[in-house]
Amino acid sequence: MRPGEVFALRWPNVLLNDDGGLIQVTEGKTKAARRVLPMVPEVYTVLKGKWELLNKPFEGWVFPSGSREGHFNKDAPKDQHKKALDDSKVKPFEPYCLRHTALTRLAESGCDAFTLARIAGHSSITITQRYCHPQAEAVERAFAKLSTGHKIGHSEQSREEEAPEVVGAKGGTRTPTVLPARS
């Protein structure tokens, strides 16, 4: 998530259950920025702990502050980030580097560029390409997949059997943009 998306997160857009959770991003520059993301275990643990500590709120900001907006904005996190770096003696870095690193690691782990664009909230695959740095081994693995089970060329199958499945078309699967109803 972009820092601004995290800072503006509200409890109604956080779904916590017994084994994980979802975050709904409702604001963004483009339609692609509005999305639902699963939580990694570390985020789930932190948000569930905060939620329980605050007596399980259903309204309000996840990260409230005394700012004009009522939640963290650009300045408050920067000041806290600088203080944390100073106190910890960690080499200075921009917080946005965490997003870049996470997206790059997802790409390196085999996440395709289209899925990565959906996760990142990019409206254009061109933007996502800056996170994809294919190494020679990745290119070799892609070609190796062709020789391990993928059929190349035509077969004697009927036209119906040859028809590719269209995923994401009407009747297909789509990534949700809203949270499921709470039970």
Residue 160 placed within a domain? no
pLDDT category of residue 169 using cuts at 50, 70 and 90? very low
Same domain, 5 and 46: yes
Domain of residue 38, residue span: 1-89
Report phi then psi at 115, rounded to 5. -65, -40
Q: What is the mean pLDDT of residues 38-62?
A: 94
pLDDT digits (tens, 9 = 90+) for 94-104: 888 888 899 99
Higher pLDDT among residues 3 and 118, named by residue = 118
Distance of CA 126 to the CA centre of its chain: 17
Same domain, 112 and 64: no
pLDDT digits (tens, 9 = 90+) for 119-165: 999 998 888 888 887 777 777 877 887 777 655 555 555 445 554 44
Residue 40 placed within a domain? yes
Confidence check: pLDDT of 60 > 90? yes
Confidence check: pLDDT of 167 > 70? no
Residue 109 placed within a domain? yes
Residue 177 placed within a domain? no
Count of structural domains within the chain: 2
Residue 173 placed within a domain? no
pLDDT at residue 145 in the model: 79
Same domain, 4 and 84: yes
pLDDT category of residue 172 using cuts at 50, 70 and 90? very low
Could you tell me the sign of the dihedral formed by the alpha carbons of 95, 8, 125, 106, in that order? positive
Same domain, 60 and 115: no
Q: pLDDT > 90: what percent of the chain?
A: 33
Does the predicted TM-score (pTM) go above 0.75? no
Q: What is the mean pLDDT of residues 62-86?
A: 83
Q: What is the mean pLDDT of residues 16-26?
A: 91
**Cβ burial 16-45 (10 Å sphere, 16+ → b, else e):** beeeebbbbbbeeeeebbbbbbebeeebbe
Same domain, 17 and 66: yes
Indicate which CATH number applies to the domain containing 57. 1.10.443.10
Confidence check: pLDDT of 171 > 60? no
Same domain, 85 and 6: yes
